[in-house]
Amino acid sequence: MENLESDAFVFFGATGDLAYEQIFPALQAMITHGHFDMPIIGVAKSAWSLEQLRARAHESLEKHDCLDSRAFAVLSAKASSKLAVSHDDAGRLHQCSAVCTHLGCIVSWNSTERTWDCPCHGSRFTNDGKLLNGPALDPLAKSR
């Protein structure tokens, strides 16, 4: 059987109870045993900062008495930025930074226009991060 690898681990409900009770401890266990080497994309409706999410994961691991400082540092590094992830009409995956290049606000997906829109000053980007209109002057930064 061919050994297939994934580009990233994506899980929904990153700020919810399931992540707190099971996903964070499981991710750390896989890292501890050397079975996890990919970026982590946590999807959540909450407008938490990355630091708030890391603090929640840390609290979860402490509560479950399984905090491993080395593995937690690896886990934190793998969840290191906010990403804008979408598919184009051909099904190709695009991921770029969700941080607007104008003043650093977080873009959101406009499903009607199929664009990434900045809520702060109106910059718009294509699904793969190219600048459509400003005030931003640069495209969204590419991500692995």
Give the model confidence (pLDDT) of 15-39 as tens digits. 899 999 999 999 999 989 988 888 7
CATH number of 9-78: 3.40.50.720
Q: Determine contact, residues 75/58, Cβ cutoff 8 Å.
A: no
The neighbour count for residue 51, using CB atoms within 10 Å, is 9
Q: What is the dihedral of CA 117, 122, 123, 127, to 10 degrees?
A: 20
Give the residue extent of every domain in the chain.
9-78, 83-133
One fold for 9-78 and 83-133: no
For the ranges 2-6, 52-56, 131-135, which has the lowest average pLDDT?
2-6
Q: Which two tokens stand for residue 86?
A: 């979408």
Angstrom distance (rounded) from CA 115 to CA 80: 23
Q: Which two tokens stand for residue 36?
A: 């996890």
Q: Residue 39: name the closest of 60, 15, 10 by CA.
A: 10
Q: What is the pLDDT of residues 70-105, one digit of tens each?
A: 888 888 877 766 777 787 888 888 888 888 888 888
Q: Residue 106 class from Cβ within 10 Å (0-12 exposed, 13-18 middle, 19+ buried)?
A: middle
Q: Which CATH architecture has domain 83-133?
A: 3-layer Sandwich (2.102)
Looking at residue 47, its pLDDT comes to 67
Q: Residue 132: name the closest of 122, 120, 143, 142 by CA.
A: 122
Looking at residue 46, its pLDDT comes to 62
Q: Residue 110: name the closest of 118, 121, 102 by CA.
A: 118
